[in-house]
Amino acid sequence: MARQDFTIPKLILKCRSNNTMGSSIQGLVQISRFTRELPVAFQGPKPNPSPKTTVENDSIRRGIAAELYTKGAAMEGSRRNIRLLKANYIKEFTLLGQAEDPLDLKKCYIDLNSLQAREESAIRQAEVEAERIGVGVTSEAQSIFDALSKTLPVRWDKTAIVVMNEVRVCSPYLPECVSGGTAAAKDRVKKVVEFERKRLQSRNSGGGGGAAPPPKQEELQPHPVKDQLPNISYCITSPPPWPEAILLGFQHYLVMLGTTVLIPASLVPQMGGGNEEKAKMIQTILFVAGLNTLFQTLFGTRLPAVIGASYSYVPTTISIILAGRYSDIVNPQEKFERIMRGTQGALIVASTLQIVVGFSGLWRNVARFLSPLSAVPLVALSGFGLYEFGFPVLAKCVEIGLPQLILLLLFSQYIPHMIRGERPVFDRFAVIFSVAIVWVYAHLLTVGGAYKNAGPKTQITCRTDRSGIIGAAPWIRVPYPFQWGAPTFDAGEAFAMMAASFVALVESTGVFIAVSRYASATPLPPSILSRGIGWQGVGILFSGIFGTGNGPSVSVENAGLLALTRVGSRRVVQISAGFMIFFSILGKFGAVFASIPAPIIAALYCLFFAYVGSAGLSLLQFCNLNSFRTKFILGFSFFMGLSIPQYFNEYTVVNGYGPVHTGARWFNDMINVPFSSEPFVAGVLAMFLDVTLHKKDNATRKDRGMHWWDRFRSFKTDTRSEEFYSLPFNLNKFFPSV
C-alpha cells in the first residue's frame, strides 16, 4: 500500500497482527504524518492493548503513528489512554472504506442555543464575581468580606458589608462596627470579623514568610485612637427597620420641641402677642425646622443633624423688640406684627453672611486651620456652655423635673444592664418611656389640685394645662411666606442680626463635629462643613421669609440624643423632619406635645448637653496631653470661655444692658452677643492660640493632632468620605467637593 493512500481525510482500515493468537479491535487510527483520524479494524496480540494505542514509524511496512480508540471511546470528549505498540506486532492494514469528513463545511453544524447559554452563564458568573469586589475599600475590608462570604450570604452596600440582609459592618470594620439584625446574628458576624482581623494582624506581623515572633508580655498602653466612634448600632448610612426608625424619628421630634416652645414662650409676650400668636409662631418654627433639616440631610453636610431654633438669636430679637420705633404702637396685635416684620427683614439680610461664607468656600479655608486641639473647647462648650438651661430650669418645678431625670438615667443606663434582650429597647427609647410616665404624673398632680394655691410662676412651669397652646392652636394651618406682612429693613438691626448669625455659625461648626462623631462617620472634610454652613444660611433665609422670629442652628439636644440611642442614621432624622412638618400643619395635635412642661425638657437637656460636651473631650485622644503647649491652650481657652460670658451675662442681668453700652443699640449687640457665647469665645480663642503659637515642625503638628486629621482635609483623600458625605442623585458630578 502506497503512502499516498493515507492522504484521504478519513479512511476505514483493517490492521492484521503477526500473532495469530491476537484479537480484533475496531477503532480509529490517527496518522502522525497527516494528523488524520482513521477508523480501523486492528488485529492485535493477546496481551489486550489499551483502548488507545500509539505506533510510531515512517512507513506502512515498519509501522505508523496511530491513536486507537474503542467504539465506546470514539465519542467526542471521551477519555483517551495511550500505549506504545511495537511495530512488528502489525502485519498489515486493509482499507475497508471511506468515512465522512468531520471538517466538511457543508455538513458542519453549530448549536447556537448552546453557545448562547454558555455565554449567559459566563456573564452571570462574571457579575457574581464582580459584586464580591468592594469599590473604594481597603484590602483588609475585602479580606473580611471574603471571610464572611465563606459561610454567610453577604453583599456590598457602598463601603458597608451587609450580611444576611440585616447585619451591617461599617468602616473601619471592627467588631464594634457590627450593627443591626438579631443578637445571635450580630454575635456570629462579630466573631468572624474578630477572628479575621486577628488572622490579618498575625499575617502582617509574620513579616517575610517565617513564623510569627512569640507574643511579647502584655504592656500597659493607652486606648487606641479611633477616627470613627465604635459601638454605634446604626451608623449614618445604615437605617434601622422602619418601625424602629419611625419611633426614633418621633423621639427626635419630641426632643427638639423644647427649644421650639421655650423661645416663643419668652419672646411673644414681649412682642405684644398672645396665645394665638404664640401657637402660630411655634407652628412656623416647626415647619421651617422640618424644611431645613431635610435640606441639610439631603444637600448639606448629609449628617443626621436637626436644624432648629437657636438661643443665639434671642438677644438680638429682644433688642429689636426694645427698639424705639415700636414703643409708640398701642395695639398689641399691630405691635407684634410690626416687630415680627422687622425681625424678618433682619434675618433675610443676615442670611447672606452664611450663604456667602459657606458656598464661596471661605469657611472651608478657615476650617482647614482647625485642629483636634482647637476643636476640643469649641465642641465641649457647645454642650457644657448651655448649663443654664439644665438644672436651673429643672429646679423651677423639682417635683416633676427630678423624677424625669432619675427615670431617664434608669431607662438609659441601668435597666439595659439588668434586663438583657435581643434588641436594646429601654435605652433606645428611654425618652419616650420616661417622658410618658412623668407627663402622666404631672397631669395627675395638676388635676388633683397640687398647684391650686401655688404662685403664678409655679403654675406656669408645673401645670400641664397652662401653656395656652392647645386652645389657641388651629386644627389645620399651613404656614406660608410673609404671613405677617411685608418685611421691613433697618441697617442697624441687620448688622446686629449678622453678628448673631456669625455666632450661630461658629456654634454649629462645633455641633456638626459632635454629630459626625456620634454618627460613626469620619471627621468632616472642610469642604463638606462649608457646604453645610451655606445650607444653614438658606435656612436663615427661610426663617426670614416665613417669619419665625428666630434664626436656626444645629440642635445640640438632638446631637446628644444620637449618643443616647447609639443610632446615627440619616433616615431617622429625615423621618423626624416629616413629623415636624406634619404636626406644624395639624396644629392641635402638635400643640398637645408642645404643652409638655419645661422642667421635663430641662431634665432631658441635662443628659443631652453632657453628651455633646463629652464628644469634644473625646477629641483629646488625638492630642499630646503631655505637652505644655497643649495644656496652656486647653486650660486657658476653657477658663476664658466660661469666665468672659459669665461676666457679660451677669452684667446684663444686673444692669439691664451689656458691658458695651453706647447710643447705637446695634453696635452694642455686635459686641455683647458674641462675647456672651461660651463656645464662640472658647473656640475662637483656642484656634487663635493654636495657629499663632504653631511652630512649623513635625513634633508640634503631632501635639496638635493634625497628623490624624490630615487625610480628612480634602474630600478625596479618604475613600470613606464618599460613603458618608457624597450628594444624592449623582449631584457630585455637577457640584464636586474638594
Mind listing the pLDDT tens digit for each residue in 442-484? 999 999 988 888 888 888 889 888 777 888 889 999 999 999 9
Q: In terms of C-beta distances under 8 Å and separation of at least 24 residues, what long-range contacts does 2-6 make, across chains too?
A: 3/59, 3/60, 5/95, 6/31, 6/33, 6/34, 6/36, 6/38, 6/64
Q: Is residue 226 part of a domain?
A: no
Both 549 and 646 in one domain: the answer is: yes
Residue 294: domain span? 242-386+481-586+625-730
Decide: helix, strand or coil at residue 601: helix
- Pick from 136, 169, 201: which residue ends a domain? 201
Q: How far apart are CA 357 and CA 353, in angstroms?
A: 6
Q: How far apart are CA 518 and CA 572, in angstroms?
A: 14
* pLDDT of residue 9 exceeding 70: no
Q: How far apart are CA 651 and CA 660, in angstroms?
A: 10
* pLDDT of residue 603 exceeding 80: yes
* pLDDT of residue 232 exceeding 80: yes
pLDDT confidence of residue 136: 72
Q: Is residue 401 part of a domain?
A: no
pLDDT bin (cut points 50, 70, 90) of residue 199 is confident
pLDDT confidence of residue 381: 97
Average pLDDT over residues 512-519: 96
What is the pTM for the complete model shown?
Answer: 0.76
Q: How far apart are CA 179 and CA 161, in angstroms?
A: 10
- Comparing 10-24, 252-266, 403-417, 705-719, which segment has the lowest mean pLDDT? 10-24
Element (H, E) at 16: strand 11-17
User: Phi, psi (5° rounding) for residue 554?
Assistant: -70, 130
Query: What Cα–Cα distance (Å) separates residue 296 from each residue in 125, 236, 503, 725?
Result: 41, 14, 19, 11
**Highest mean pLDDT of the ranges 107-111, 392-396, 700-704:** 392-396
pLDDT confidence of residue 195: 84
Both 174 and 279 in one domain: the answer is: no
Q: How far apart are CA 644 and CA 678, in angstroms?
A: 8
- Pick from 176, 201, 226: which residue ends a domain? 201
* pLDDT of residue 75 exceeding 50: no
* pLDDT of residue 340 exceeding 70: yes
* pLDDT of residue 235 exceeding 70: yes
* pLDDT of residue 64 exceeding 50: no
- Comparing 343-352, 523-532, 543-552, 691-700, which segment has the lowest mean pLDDT? 691-700
Q: How far apart are CA 193 and CA 523, in angstroms?
A: 24
Q: Is residue 153 part of a domain?
A: yes
Summarised one tens digit per residue, pLDDT across range 16-36 is 444 444 344 444 444 433 334
* pLDDT of residue 4 exceeding 80: no
pLDDT confidence of residue 6: 36
Both 274 and 150 in one domain: the answer is: no
Q: How far apart are CA 432 and CA 415, in angstroms?
A: 15
pLDDT confidence of residue 86: 60
Closest C-alpha among 638, 657, 521 to residue 234 = 521
Both 259 and 370 in one domain: the answer is: yes
Considering only residues 131 and 211, tell me which one the structure prediction assigns the higher pLDDT. Answer: 131
Q: Is residue 703 part of a domain?
A: yes
Average pLDDT over residues 403-410: 96
Is residue 632 within 8 Å of residue 461, measured between CB atoms? no
**Highest mean pLDDT of the ranges 3-12, 79-88, 179-188, 468-477:** 468-477
Average pLDDT over residues 168-192: 79
Residue with grid cell 471521551, as numbered in its chain: 78
Query: What Cα–Cα distance (Å) separates residue 532 from each residue in 486, 501, 505, 526, 591?
Result: 29, 14, 10, 10, 30
Q: Which spans in 397-489 are helix H? A: 398-409, 415-418, 430-447, 456-462, 469-472
Closest C-alpha among 181, 592, 608 to residue 409 = 608
Domain count of the chain? 2
Sheet containing 90-98: give its strands across.
Answer: 23-31, 36-44, 11-17, 90-98
pLDDT bin (cut points 50, 70, 90) of residue 37 is very low
pLDDT bin (cut points 50, 70, 90) of residue 205 is low
pLDDT bin (cut points 50, 70, 90) of residue 573 is very high
pLDDT confidence of residue 66: 43
> Residue type for 98, please?
Q
* pLDDT of residue 289 exceeding 60: yes
- C-alpha grid cell, residue 553: 442652628
Q: How far apart are CA 454 and CA 451, in angstroms?
A: 5
Average pLDDT over residues 263-272: 93
Average pLDDT over residues 575-582: 96
Both 265 and 191 in one domain: the answer is: no
Summarised one tens digit per residue, pLDDT across range 318-336 is 999 998 888 888 899 999 9
Both 197 and 271 in one domain: the answer is: no
Strands 11-17 and 36-44: parallel
Output the CA torsion 527→528→530→536 (10° steps). 170
Q: Most distant CA pair in the chain: distance in Å?
A: 139
Q: Is residue 161 part of a domain?
A: yes
pLDDT confidence of residue 29: 46
Both 578 and 683 in one domain: the answer is: yes
Both 145 and 292 in one domain: the answer is: no
Summarised one tens digit per residue, pLDDT across range 587-599 is 888 888 888 999 9
Q: How far apart are CA 401 and CA 409, in angstroms?
A: 13
Neighbours of 278 (CB within 10 A): 25
- Average pLDDT of the chain, as a whole number: 83
* pLDDT of residue 212 exceeding 80: no
Both 577 and 679 in one domain: the answer is: yes
Both 196 and 251 in one domain: the answer is: no
> Residue type for 700, please?
T
Q: How far apart are CA 583 and CA 575, in angstroms?
A: 12
Q: Is residue 73 part of a domain?
A: no
Residue with grid cell 489512554, as numbered in its chain: 81
Q: How far apart are CA 437 and CA 431, in angstroms?
A: 10
- Pick from 201, 227, 256: which residue ends a domain? 201
Both 190 and 249 in one domain: the answer is: no
Q: Is residue 233 part of a domain?
A: no
Whether the bond into 45 is cis, omega within 30 of 0: no
Q: Is residue 524 part of a domain?
A: yes
Both 548 and 667 in one domain: the answer is: yes
Average pLDDT over residues 606-631: 95
pLDDT confidence of residue 74: 42
**For a pLDDT cut of 70, what percent of the chain falls above it?**
83
Average pLDDT over residues 604-626: 96
pLDDT confidence of residue 106: 64
Average pLDDT over residues 660-683: 93
